[in-house]
Amino acid sequence: MTDTTTSRTMQETGSEPSAPLVFRIEGMDCAEEVSVLRDELASLVGGEQHLAFDVLRGRMIVRDPERRVGPEEIVDAIARTGMRASPWRDDRSDGGDESARSSRTGLTIACAVLGAGGFAAHAFSAGSVGAALGEGAEGGIPLAVRVLYGVAIAAGGVHVLPKAWSAVRRLRPDMNLLMTVAVAGAIGIGEWLEATTVTLLFAVSLALESWSVGRARRAVEKLLSVAPPTARLINEPGGPREVAPEEVHVGQTVLVKPGERIPLDGRVASGESDVDQSPITGESRPVEKAPGDEVFAGTVNGAGALEVTCEKAAADSTLAHVVRLVAEAHAGRSPAEQWVERFARVYTPAVLGLALAVLLVPPLVFDGAWGEWLYRALVLLVIGCPCALVISTPVSIVSALAASARHGVLIKGGVYVEMPARLRVVAMDKTGTLTEGRFAVVEVVPLAGHGEADLIERVAALEQHSNHPIARAIVAHAEERGLALPPVEGFQTIAGKGATGRVEGREYWLGSHRYLEERGQETPEIHDRLEAMSAAGRTVVVVGNSEHVCGLIAIADAVRPEAARTVAEIREAGIERVVMLTGDNRGTAEAVGRATGVDEVQAELLPADKVAAVEELVRRYGTVAMVGDGVNDAPALARASLGIAMGAAGSDAAIETADVALMSDQLDRIPWLVRHARRTLSIIRQNIVVSIGVKIVFVALTFVGLATLWTAIAADMGVSLLVILNALRLLRPHRDT
């Protein structure tokens, strides 16, 4: 609720609003369950505008309920939906959620074991597996077998039945009611194996959904580990002391030593250093910081000590906003409902109503025989049992997931298997996605008569004394060329500028364009050359001695060799637009954009800016994928229609937040994923048409008295087998994938 709305409510009621009631909800793992809670609680709290939900953290907030309901009433109402609620505590671990997930997993395993035991016992008593599969007449299954099947169904459906009853009370059929009706119908006509199978499949899908959401919740907590646990306060009475970042007030100064993470957002008060801002901005190279420059919590200080004046409390830091953006993006996401859930709202009551009509209307209106029409109603209920529908979709999804895993693509759920088929735009991060995320020497310019090998030898000899990423890139380049590095005497680092040292008896210096200007050795020709190289998005190391500039070495984050080809293949796969979103500077971003052939470049973006850019693309195009690898990409990954993380080198936060992870870091898996999703969606649609088509035919045969219970069961099992075999085709290689 906005502040304006809150003020208006206070004026109308003439009283202060009560404090929000916050609950942890066990079992709230998707948008369907949020809808159930809204329906149940809206009238109780005075309207659904007083309710807010955070699916990612399993949290519900009741703001200023007009009826001033107590927490006990809300907990009781939530219990009626089949979910459980308890007061929220910020310091509470997710032990309760873990316990609930463990219980669900245990019950699912028990359902599978007991169901298998029942089938084995039936096969043994009947004398063959075929007899156990074909037995359908009531009373034909031994009591012990029915008991095993019954206990298996109870174990798998214990979490489903309360939700199904809630759907009945609300007159809003959902997947829980669909499954319950299917199981009850199968039991009613003696198909205990069929009832157990449907229960098990549904229990497995719920367990996987709960597990996936649990991992996403833990990923948000991992984001916090980027920030250091302590801050070193200085200029305070009593001398320097270490405190928690939360205890630092705006205006206080902290000392950040070389190599440490910066604990809070602020500005440099004293010192010069280079800071690795990639965890927050995605900047591919360290950024030089001097007094007055802004720094962010969670970024890594370089070689110089910095005194930072805090400008934001820990809860308001850019890193804290990243954490909140991930949670809000997940909470605000509207995942596409499974087609079975939508279909069930019409299909389930229609089948039940039709079966009841078949049972009652002919005997009561046309004086038909009760026994005959009861039998036809049972046939209709059997053929109406959605087993083929329920089974075909999970098998299609599992097959698609398995095929994806073989190609190094980890997809985290069925809804994300289908989503790539509907994409119109792919947005991609630069560093670590379109580029390799590491520096490399891309150009060497010898000057004043120096040779390229000699220049590299001298620079690498000096740089081997530094741990700076640029230094490591130059040393690695020398090693790749097999160059022998001469010894260095009197090496000295010039903080924030460069370094000097004596190589083979002669003094050399190296540094940035700014350091060259300070030394007064720049010429117009060298200046123009440096400006051109910098405009191409390259970092340039200038090398010289007391007499002249010896040469220039250009360093850049290397573009992935397959990047340009992949961008072209993404377009060939039917994607309308490829956009690059990066926190890097405009010059570097434009250079990479030209090299890869993307349609649009947006640069110098903070995490919140990336989220805004993705939201704008979603508004304009509808379905958008975001591809990234860093903590700073996590909010945008969560907000996109489909989040794709570079898995091999990506951060835990990006991988856990994303819907798809490319475990091999191969960009060409993206167009493959689009084609694979389209094939999967085609097979699912084929299964739907076949399943419903056969049922329509048998409904017609039932009305004219040509269908029997046995043919209905055979048809239902046959269709189930057919759609399963069709779904398994996804496991085979295909020319389009």
Q: Three-state secondary structure along 227-250?
A: CCCCEEEECCCCCCEEECHHHCCC
CA end-to-end span of the chain:
47
Choose the catalytic residue: 29, 97, 174, 429.
429
Asked whether 478 and 563 are in contact (CB, 8 A), the reply is no
Name, in order, each residue with C-beta under 8 angstroms of 3's C-beta and a sequence gap of 6 or more: none
Q: Round to whole Å and give the CA distance between 129 and 572.
A: 50
Q: Which H or E element spans position 192?
A: helix 192-223
103 closest CA partner among 9, 27, 11? 27
- Three-class SS of residue 322? helix
Task: Give the helix/strand (H/E) hosting 636.
Answer: helix 634-639
For the chain, the maximum distance between any two Cα atoms, rounded to a whole number of angstroms, is 116
Asked if 455 and 543 count as a contact pair (C-beta separation under 8 A), the reply is yes
Look-up of token digits 């919140």: 608
314 and 320 in contact (C-beta within 8 Å)?
Answer: yes
Spatial distance between the Cα atoms of 92 and 559, rounded to a whole number of angstroms: 44
Q: For residue 116, with 0-12 CB atoms within 10 Å meaning exposed, 13-18 middle and 19 or more buried, which class applies?
A: middle
Q: Is 429 a catalytic residue?
A: yes
Residue 555 main-chain phi, psi, to 5 deg: -120, 140
Cα(544)–Cα(498) distance, integer angstroms: 11
Task: Assess contact for 296 and 311: CB atoms under 8 A.
Answer: no
Is residue 355 a contact partner of residue 382, using CB atoms and an 8 Å limit?
no
Exposure string over 640-652, b if 16+ CB within 10 A, otherwise e: bbbbbbbbeebbe
* Total residue length of the chain: 737
| Contact assessment for residue 724 and residue 391, using Cβ atoms and an 8 Å cutoff | yes
CB atoms within 10 A of CB 247: 14
CB 631 within 8 A of CB 322: yes
Cα–Cα distance measured from residue 184 to residue 192, given in angstroms and rounded to the nearest whole number: 10
DSSP letter (8 states) at residue 661: E
Centroid of chain to Cα 599: 25
What CA–CA distance (Å, rounded) separates 721 from 398?
A: 15
Instruction: Choose among 488, 437, 433: nearest CA to 458.
Output: 488
Taking the CA atoms of residue 384, residue 389, residue 390 and residue 395 in that order, the dihedral angle to the nearest 10 degrees is 150
The conformational region for residue 171 under phi > 0 = left, psi -120 to 50 = alpha, else beta, is left
The conformation of residue 261, written as its DSSP 8-state character, comes to B
- Tell me if 694 sits within 8 A of 715, measured CB to CB: yes
Helices (H), 272-407: 318-332, 339-366, 370-384, 387-406
Q: What Å distances lie between residue 132 and 38, 127, 138, 152, 348, CA to CA? A: 45, 8, 13, 17, 28
Instruction: Identify the three-state secondary structure at position 646.
Output: strand
Contact 293, 266 (CB under 8 A): no
Catalytic residues: 429
